[in-house]
Amino acid sequence: MNAIIEPNSRVLQLPEETESLIKASIAENTLKAYQRALQNLTTWLSGRTLSDALLANYITLYTRTANPRQPSGNSSPR
């Protein structure tokens, strides 16, 4: 089972069947992009607890700094 971290820092365990269905429903490159996006958010949070206000701030910063044409997907708010 893989874990999913919810905004309030609870960790959910997904049954393997559910995980398989999710993986089958998302293209590999899309999944990698989502994983990168979540990693960028986690890095940006720097240990802070995710809140609505922080997420709104992150999205605002991201829309100002991200270059949607950049194929590497490395743009992230800092």
Q: Is residue 70 part of a domain?
A: no
Q: Is residue 57 part of a domain?
A: yes
Q: What is the pLDDT of residues 36-66, one digit of tens each?
A: 888 888 898 888 999 999 999 999 888 888 6
Q: Is residue 75 part of a domain?
A: no
Site of tokens 């991200």: 66
Long-range CB contact pairs, 8-14, < 8 A, 24+ = 8/49, 9/49, 9/50
Give the global pTM.
Answer: 0.54
Element of type H or E holding 3: strand 3-5
Per-residue pLDDT, averaged over 26-42, amounts to 88
Structural domains in the chain (count): 1
Is 7 within 8 Å of 54 (Cβ atoms)? Answer: no
- Residue 9: give the domain boundaries: 3-65
